[in-house]
Structure 1
Amino acid sequence: MPSSPQIFDSAATIADAIISRVGRKIVMALPLGLGKPNHIVNALVHRAMDDPSISLQIFTALTLEVPRPSSDIEKRFMGPVLDRLFEGYPALTYATELHKGTLPPNIQVNEFFMQAGRWLGSPRQQQNYISANYTHALRYVLETKVNVVGQLVAPSPSRQQFSLSCNPDITLDLLDARRAGKADFIFVGETNEELPYMAGGAEVGADEFQLLLDNKELQFPLFAPPREPVSLADHAIGLHVASLIPDGGTLQIGIGSIGDAVGQALVLRHKENDAFQKLMAALDARGNDRRPFREGLYGASEMLVECFIDIIEAGVLKREVEGVLVHGGFFLGSRTLYSRLRNMTPEERARISMVPVAFVNDLHGEEEKKRAARKDARFVNTAMMATLLGAVVSDGLEDGRVVSGVGGQYNFVAQAFALEDARSIITVRATRNKDGKTMSNIVFSYGHTTIPRHLRDIVVTEYGVADLRGKTDGEVIAEMLSIADSRFQDELLEQAKKTGKIASNYEIPEKRRHNTPERLLGAVADAREAGHLPLFPFGSDFTEVEVSLMPALSRLRHATRSDLAKMLLRGGPETDEARRGLERMALAKPEGLKERAYRRIILAALSS
């Protein structure tokens, strides 16, 4: 007979029950991102911190932490935003102690995907990182002899059914492994009524749990990062990508502002096609898929990125596969995403199916059905850099330090080669700013790669599309040079010629010699003025005043010391908009030399 879980209303008592059941050596698996049962995890960590005889190993990914502003000006801007968005969210104690250097050695945290850049300065976490494709994480969890699996879950009113909601990703397969006798662990849940109740495959019975923390007093707001602003370069990348998506095809999108840019471009293509066609001409885009969607797209994406909801509502994502518009392995997003999912009718939510990550990231298992469903697939993911020979750098630095992780990117690139008529599209911003200096993200070579050059396919920057599949090394270099920022093209071409990888008499075509931010701005200025390329295409968690401050603060973030000195001398006019911005930054009535300097610099940045 199925058994009901033991119910607890205290995190401390459920932690004691876990130790009583499995002993003092705890190997605990937690979902990636949002689905962590924070109160349970924190209680166990405190038990292990107080008692060195307890060994606690945590296997997880994407430990979510509230952003930490790096400068005083950034704190003035982001402080109120962070208070507004994250008030009441319980920080994970193991992360806090790791940052302080006070997590004892009897507690070990292994992640296979890190919050981007958060642990670059932590030797301990760099050493404890496990490099893995998302689909391989299940195997590694099982090999650790996991004895506790913990998850945040959405309860049904009867408490007889629970939804894994945001994270069925690996948990469903772990439960299958336990039923098959391949694993022996207790399943521990913590309820959270803010989690959208995703039914179907994400739903499990109460009898799957051994222990359950269920207390209305312990409900907490979900981690909800604000939607990122979409830059002009991001919009240009999104437009190029949108012209590569065939009607009736399959779409996967990765996390970040470029994903929102792709979503906005697809909506523009479908609903305001004349404006989209005009932009394609202005950008000299190579993609031929430019008409509105008749059949529409189907989504098969590791992450249910927020813009999927928007493109469903816009009528872009409308091709159903067995009654489903999009299959996703996990989700994480703004408060708006969670409320939209919660407020859908059960029928609307049923068309968004949360499934094991192995289902979307791989073809194994029901392969014929997957191949039939994933016709004309386009897998869109973002990278940090790409080399002239088409290798892609997405997760780490050449000194070995990990920025984030491989996640599912390799899975989707491999799938693009395994499926007929599928393509991998890697998006890369052509440049980045470091310490006030502009640097190229198209490089000749790099000491670390995420996607090797033998899997090179399509690379997109704001300056265009490089189609690399099946081409020779010389042809690939020519393609990559054509989408590099023109300030770096000569140096890159010279490097390629020195190594003999491109003909010594090769010249970059004149039409590709004008890849500059100024030309890009000119090409899209009318569309920007018309509102087709908004800073926040699908809504924002920021106030109107905060949004108006963002361009100025971006200029300050990228400014050199010399730039800042000039701004300090120049200052700027106190318009009504500027006064509202100063008020928001608590600089309307500055006190002391530092605040007066901040005030002048911000006025200068606002007037630039």
Structure 2
Amino acid sequence: MLLELKRKKPEDVLELIKDGADLIVPLANGEPSTILDVIEEHAMSLSNVRIHQMHPLRERKYMWGEYGNNLRHVSYFLSGAVRKAYLAGKCDLVPNHFHEVPKLMRTKTKASLIIAQASPVDEHGYFSLGTNADYTSTFIGKAPFFLEVNKQMPRTYGGNQIHVSQIEGYIEVDYPLADAKNPVITEEDKQIASQIVDRIPNGATIQMGIGAIPNAIVAFLQNHKHLGIHTELLSDGAIELIESGVVDGSQKMNLPGKIVTTFCLGSKTLYDFIDQNGGIEMMPVDYVNDPRVIAKEDCMISMNATTDVDFLGQCASETIGGKYYSSSGGQADFARGALFSKNGKGFICLHSTAKNGEISRIKPQLSVGSAVTTSKNDVDHVVTEYGVAELRGATIAERTKRLIAIAHPKFRDELTFEARKLGFL
């Protein structure tokens, strides 16, 4: 009876949006496209409404400021859908560490309404937020929800369950989730991966993101045993490790035996894999990415990518050439968590050059306008295809020498010259 009462039409969401409302939308496939279409179609009847979201999948007119103050986008992590609009000054970006986003949204917004995609209801009256827990799940029972129930959204378990009594309403849709294409793995990626794998012991708990290097690492881990996964993002690369028995989570401290993540993004193969998979625990990001939680693992291995590293060890991972490209995400969360973990290790990876070998990514100083994502004090290892530079506890002179040693050979003399000019050598 209650389920039928909560069934709505898409336009019914408009009755829940008051002047000055702050709407919160999940990242990636948690984004409710049909509901957002309706809100955008009626944007000129709204007043001072803001949509708060990380990593949107679809470019929209409100991101470009086409509705003025009626409807405005506030980003917490830029994606390809919103990057150009932000650089053109048409929407806003809030600096953050991923684990802090729920608190920021609770304290700095009204959290007027959460609109999210969900899986179909189960026999007990519960929906699942499917591919997501992220910051959205922290509002379950604490803020009003309006759901877009998609027949193709997988049912997952963990802290992302919401009962029909906890929602204002829902609509039903049926469309495929967005795929994230697997990147091409280069020889440089393989070289970087091979050097990291040598430093991952059996029984370690790993965090790995999406991209060519994480996928390359998977191929080198097939002879490992008793690995665990505690990661903000679960992507296709993890499936092979889990199905082969390399990952069993038996030595994890946090939720032993479970693969812990806060959102999933990949192919349909991944979405089918997580559907009703009791081994995967979808948890809120203020748990998954909390450095204090991460540090409880006895051997946490953090692996992330950056675009530029300077001689101090500062990593600019969210800007390119001094212009914003993404945001901090969870890189610093896991870098800090791994350092506090007993026997933990952190790896920041990058190709040694950019622009077809024309530019060194290891630099004397970061470009003007670059944002430091992971500070010099939190960086443990930096890895290129030419080796591993251990920076933790190293002096500035030692850091400089070690980073130059893993730069592309054609830039090493120039980098050494610049280091002497700066007084680092």
Tell me the TM-score normalised to structure 2 length. Answer: 0.92
Aligned match for 1:206, one of 164, 185, 188: 164
| Counterpart check, 1:493 vs 2:416 | yes
Aligned match for 2:325, one of 403, 406, 420: 403
For the aligned residue pairs, the C-alpha RMSD in angstroms reads 2.3
Contact 1:323 1:351 in 2 (8 A): no
Per the alignment, in what secondary structure is the counterpart of residue 159 of structure 2? helix
Partner of 2:239: 309
Partner of 1:188: 146
Instruction: Return the offset for 1:158.
Output: 3.5
Contact 2:40 2:62 in 1 (8 A): no
Instruction: Return the offset for 1:339.
Output: 2.3
Aligned match for 1:234, one of 185, 189, 194: 189
Partner of 1:440: 360
What pairs with 1:89-238 in structure 2 (closer than 5 Å)?
A: 95-96=60-61, 98=63, 102-115=66-79, 119-120=83-84, 122-125=86-89, 128-142=92-106, 143-158=108-123, 160-175=125-140, 178=142, 185-214=143-172, 218-238=173-193
Partner of 1:10: 9
Between the aligned partners of 1:493 and 1:234, the Cα distance in structure 2 is: 26
Aligned match for 1:244, one of 185, 196, 199: 199
Of structures 1 and 2, the larger Rg is shown by 1
Partner of 1:428: 350
| Counterpart check, 1:319 vs 2:249 | yes
Instruction: Return the offset for 1:297.
Output: 0.7
Instruction: Return the offset for 1:232.
Output: 1.1
Between the aligned partners of 2:376 and 2:137, the Cα distance in structure 1 is: 34
What pairs with 1:384-395 in structure 2 (closer than 5 Å)?
A: 384-395=307-318
Between the aligned partners of 1:443 and 1:117, the Cα distance in structure 2 is: 30
Contact 1:430 1:462 in 2 (8 A): yes
Instruction: Return the offset for 1:316.
Output: 1.7
Instruction: Return the offset for 1:144.
Output: 0.9
Instruction: Return the offset for 1:55.
Output: 2.7
Q: Deviations over 1:79-129 (max 9, x none)?
A: xxxxxxxxxxxxx5xx24545x63433211011101159514644557611
Q: Deviations over 1:423-460 (max 9, x none)?
A: 11101111111xx6621111111132211212221011
Contact 1:196 1:338 in 2 (8 A): yes
Per the alignment, in what secondary structure is the counterpart of residue 112 of structure 1? strand
Q: Deviations over 1:175-196 (max 9, x none)?
A: 25x2xxxxxx321111012111
Instruction: Return the offset for 1:301.
Output: 0.3
Per the alignment, in what secondary structure is the counterpart of residue 221 of structure 2? helix
Residue 124 to residue 27, structure 1, CA distance change in 2 (3 Å)? farther
Q: Which amino acid aligns with 1:316?
A: V
Instruction: Return the offset for 1:56.
Output: 1.8
Between the aligned partners of 2:2 and 2:363, the Cα distance in structure 1 is: 59
Q: Which has the higher strand share?
A: 2
Between the aligned partners of 2:291 and 2:333, the Cα distance in structure 1 is: 10
Runs of 4 or more, structure 1, over 6 Å off, are none
Partner of 1:455: 378
Between the aligned partners of 1:421 and 1:158, the Cα distance in structure 2 is: 44
What pairs with 1:210-359 in structure 2 (closer than 5 Å)?
A: 210-214=168-172, 218-267=173-222, 270=223, 293-294=224-225, 296-320=226-250, 321=252, 322=255, 324-342=257-275, 346=276, 349-359=277-287
Per the alignment, in what secondary structure is the counterpart of residue 64 of structure 1? coil
Per the alignment, in what secondary structure is the counterpart of residue 301 of structure 1? strand
Residue 125 to residue 316, structure 1, CA distance change in 2 (3 Å)? farther
Q: Which amino acid aligns with 2:151?
A: E
Q: Which amino acid aligns with 1:169?
A: D
Between the aligned partners of 2:88 and 2:37, the Cα distance in structure 1 is: 20
Between the aligned partners of 1:5 and 1:412, the Cα distance in structure 2 is: 43
Contact 1:159 1:206 in 2 (8 A): no
Between the aligned partners of 2:395 and 2:74, the Cα distance in structure 1 is: 40
Contact 1:27 1:56 in 2 (8 A): yes
Between the aligned partners of 1:393 and 1:486, the Cα distance in structure 2 is: 22
Between the aligned partners of 1:226 and 1:425, the Cα distance in structure 2 is: 24
Contact 2:22 2:50 in 1 (8 A): yes
Residue 324 to residue 210, structure 1, CA distance change in 2 (3 Å)? farther
Between the aligned partners of 1:56 and 1:33, the Cα distance in structure 2 is: 21
Contact 1:324 1:353 in 2 (8 A): no
Aligned match for 1:56, one of 49, 58, 62: 49
Between the aligned partners of 2:48 and 2:244, the Cα distance in structure 1 is: 51
Tell me the TM-score normalised to structure 1 length. Answer: 0.65
Q: Which amino acid aligns with 2:126?
A: Q
Contact 1:4 1:209 in 2 (8 A): no
Q: What is the identity percentage for the equivalent residue pairs of Structure 1 and Structure 2?
A: 25
Contact 1:324 1:352 in 2 (8 A): no
Instruction: Return the offset for 1:363.
Output: 4.5
Between the aligned partners of 1:476 and 1:5, the Cα distance in structure 2 is: 63
Between the aligned partners of 2:361 and 2:90, the Cα distance in structure 1 is: 24
Partner of 1:362: 290
Between the aligned partners of 1:187 and 1:31, the Cα distance in structure 2 is: 12
Between the aligned partners of 2:69 and 2:345, the Cα distance in structure 1 is: 45
Between the aligned partners of 1:437 and 1:193, the Cα distance in structure 2 is: 46
Instruction: Return the offset for 1:171.
Output: 2.1
Q: Which amino acid aligns with 1:318?
A: D
Instruction: Return the offset for 1:259.
Output: 1.2
Contact 2:262 2:288 in 1 (8 A): yes
Q: Deviations over 1:283-331 (max 9, x none)?
A: xxxxxxxxxx24x211110111221111111222123344533100111
Q: Which amino acid aligns with 2:280?
A: I
Between the aligned partners of 1:492 and 1:425, the Cα distance in structure 2 is: 22
Q: Which amino acid aligns with 2:145?
A: F
Q: Which amino acid aligns with 1:61?
A: M
Instruction: Return the offset for 1:371.
Output: 5.0
Per the alignment, in what secondary structure is the counterpart of residue 51 of structure 2? strand
Q: Across the two proteins, how many residue pairs are aligned to each other?
A: 418
Q: Which amino acid aligns with 2:244?
A: A
Aligned match for 2:29, one of 20, 26, 34: 34
Q: Which amino acid aligns with 1:337?
A: L
Instruction: Return the offset for 1:167.
Output: 1.2
Residue 323 to residue 452, structure 1, CA distance change in 2 (3 Å)? closer
Residue 308 to residue 245, structure 1, CA distance change in 2 (3 Å)? same
Contact 2:131 2:271 in 1 (8 A): no
Instruction: Return the offset for 1:207.
Output: 1.2
Between the aligned partners of 1:482 and 1:105, the Cα distance in structure 2 is: 52
